[in-house]
Amino acid sequence: MSSELSGRITNIPAFYVMEVLERAHELEREGRSIIHLEIGEPDFPTASHICETANAAMCAGETKYTHSLGLPELRDAIANNYKQKFNVDVSPEQIIITSGTSPAMLLVCMALLDQGDQVIMSNPHYACYPNFIRAVGGDPDFVYTNKDNGFVMKAEAVSSKINEKTKAILINSPSNPTGQIIPVHEMKELVKSAGAVPIISDEIYQGLVYEDEDHTILEFTENAFVLNGFSKLYAMTGWRLGYLVAPVKHMRTLQKMQQNFFISTNSFVQKAGIAALTGPQEHVKEMVKIYDKRRLYLLERIRDIGFEVKCEPKGAYYILADARKFGEDSLELSRRILDDIGVAVTPGIDFGKGAEGHLRFSYANSLENIKEGMDRIADYFAEKKS
């Protein structure tokens, strides 16, 4: 009997941002001062009313299994949120609550893909997308995008890729790693190009939008699987609470997979999600204002140092900057910056070959820390030049 592990699994590449973070933590344990501009995690605490709701639920014994699709009250709250924000009618019966958006992505990939089936997606892309697809035997079909328009995937490029093996088109807006937002006209064109092919839309950064309007693909088509959650907008990364909105005809299949592979999502965390959606929103609005200030400051500093950003990012909390002036190998460059001056940034290669030579800067850190990090980088490259 062979003792070898699955080739699909052993060949999954490292998630470099996590390796940068782990190296940064090693240096911190050695006493080094590290500025974290690598990780996509809000530096804000979860709002007190959300934490209090979870605590009360635990104390009241809300620690049991729930319905596999999630608490009806939470699914109702999510449906109401789509109606209020986007005037989109989503039935609670279309919603499945998941332990973060990663299980939701896995459920969609398992439901849609057989061996050799393809998913069209942009390159650059969120690092883990191809790994979800390959883990279930599918193949990512990359559309290489242009930094001049912010790496937004164009409908005509997607249309030319669609074939008999295409089972989905994957989009992400606001985007990780670019911070870009897909314009409304482009979303509409993507829907037209897709035809009968469903769109998987990762909208986890929904609400983190600056100088633009917030949108969901569900405004333009019902033939979509939408991933969303509470990690980013409500600063709840560690709570692991997400959800999937899917066409009604697929819900029974998704439910059976949820029952088999995940059973249900943590009950008292779901109660916290209800509090997040239905409670005060002032803390969210203030957080978005602060992110915007950081965005504008970081963008100016990045450009002043000599990194190139052709198209201003207007969402999420990332800037993907061309760093080839300082080095073609983004992984090696990020390692030098971390080891030499204690600033953690993410190498572009983490997000596909289309981002090689770039670095991703996260502004999910205080303005004070961002300033210190950029001062170190500016001095570092000034010394190298001299």
Q: What is the pLDDT of residues 327-353, one digit of tens each?
A: 999 999 999 999 999 999 999 999 999
2 within a domain of the structure (yes/no): no
| pLDDT of 120 strictly over 70 | yes
Q: Please state the domain count of the chain.
A: 2
Query: Does 76 share its domain with 221?
Result: yes
pLDDT in the model for residue 383: 82
3-state secondary structure string, 119-156?
EEEEECCCCCHHHHHHHCCCEEEEEECCHHHCCCCCHH
For residue 165, what are the contacts with CB-CB under 8 A and spacing of at least 6? Answer: 116, 117, 118, 139
Q: Mean pLDDT across the stretch 145-153?
A: 93
Same domain (yes/no): 101, 22: no
Question: Could you give the C-alpha distances from 367 to 96, 109, 296, in angstroms and in order?
Answer: 37, 38, 11
Mean pLDDT (whole number) for 227-245: 97
Do residues 274 and 148 share a domain? yes
Question: Are 34 and 170 members of one domain?
Answer: no
Q: What is the pLDDT of residue 384?
A: 74
Q: Which of 278, 300, 319 is the last residue of a domain?
A: 278
- Tell me if 1 is assigned to some domain: no
Work out the pLDDT band at 2, boundaries 50, 70, 90.
Answer: low
Rg (CA), the chain: 21
Contact yes or no for 94/246 (Cβ under 8 A): yes
Based on the domain organization, do 293 and 351 belong to the same domain?
A: yes
* Residue 8 confidence class, pLDDT cut points 50, 70, 90: confident
Are 302 and 268 found together in one domain? no
301 and 270 housed in the same domain: no
Whether residues 24 and 109 fall in one domain: no
What is the per-residue pLDDT for 3?
58
Domain boundary among 239, 255, 278: 278
Q: Has residue 1 got a pLDDT over 50?
A: no
Q: Are residues 54 and 191 in the same domain?
A: yes
Q: What is the pLDDT of residues 172-198, one digit of tens each?
A: 999 999 999 999 999 999 999 999 999
Residue 288, domain member (yes or no): yes
CATH code: domain of residue 357 = 3.90.1150.10
The reply to whether 222 falls in a domain is: yes
- Residues 141 and 66 placed together within one structural domain of the fold: yes
Across the chain, what does the average pLDDT equal?
96
**Sheet strands side by side (includes 358-362):** 318-322, 358-362, 346-347
Residue 207 and residue 330 share a domain: no
Has this prediction a pTM greater than 0.85? Answer: yes
Query: Residue 322 domain-assigned?
Result: yes
Range of the domain at 153: 48-278
Q: Which CATH number does the domain housing residue 152 bear?
A: 3.40.640.10
Q: With beta carbons less than 8 A apart as the criterion, state whether 49 and 271 touch.
A: no
Domain assignment of residue 173, yes or no: yes
Domain match, 52 and 142 both: yes
Asked if the model's pLDDT at residue 79 lies above 90, the reply is yes
Give the per-residue pLDDT at 212: 83
Of 251, 278, 305, which one is at a domain's C-terminal end?
A: 278
